[in-house]
């Protein structure tokens, strides 16, 4: 099991696509899944911010991945933070069958707390890659996704109009300012 994580705009999907395309070049049987709720760019593609894409299968629940992965050698899962909490068990089952499972997702939500099943996936992974963006405020390495709106629900699909990458200091400053506003 491999997990690629980081904040928004850190290149998680780009890295997932890169790894999956390499598996395809090696003539491995590859299947890619994403949550059906994520339709920001395309309903049946995983699309990076740089507009690279790869076909994917949208699923409502992680259990569906087990049903759709028969005969597959490499499984890709994007936006893992949006999946249900059964995803780590599903990934364990796939890996135990000898499949390479590559997962990408946000490790933290907009409040800086672990997001969905990601912390459990990171704990179970043999390989974990944490990517960084560039802080939109000061230019340092960013590992936080700062929400620029007053919306408080954990899940809010958006792009640069709603989120920006921030380093720890700028994230803390922004959260402090937002709480006093």
Taking only Cα atoms into account, the Rg of the chain, rounded to an integer number of angstroms, comes to 16
Catalytic residue among 79, 86, 126, 159: 79
14 is catalytic: no
63: left (phi over 0), alpha (psi -120 to 50) or beta: alpha
Please give the structure tokens belonging to residue 121: 């996936």
Catalytic positions are 79
């Amino acid at each position: 099991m491999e997990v690629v994580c980081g904040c928004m705009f850190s290149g998680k999907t780009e890295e997932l696509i890169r790894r999956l395309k390499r598996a395809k070049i090696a003539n491995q049987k590859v299947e890619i899944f994403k949550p059906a709720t994520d339709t920001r760019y395309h309903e049946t593609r995983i699309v990076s911010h740089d507009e690279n894409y790869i076909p994917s299968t949208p699923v409502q629940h992680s259990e569906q991945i087990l049903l759709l992965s028969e005969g597959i050698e490499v499984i890709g899962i994007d936006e893992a933070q949006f999946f249900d909490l059964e995803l780590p068990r599903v990934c364990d089952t796939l890996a135990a069958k000898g499949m390479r499972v590559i997962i990408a997702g946000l490790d933290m939500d907009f409040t800086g707390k672990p997001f969905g099943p990601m912390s459990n996936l990171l704990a179970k992974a043999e390989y974990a890659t944490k990517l960084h963006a560039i802080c939109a405020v000061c230019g340092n390495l960013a590992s936080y996704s700062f929400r620029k709106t007053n919306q408080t629900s954990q899940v809010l699909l958006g792009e640069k109009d709603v989120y920006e990458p921030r380093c720890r200091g700028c994230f803390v400053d922004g959260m402090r300012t937002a709480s006093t506003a």
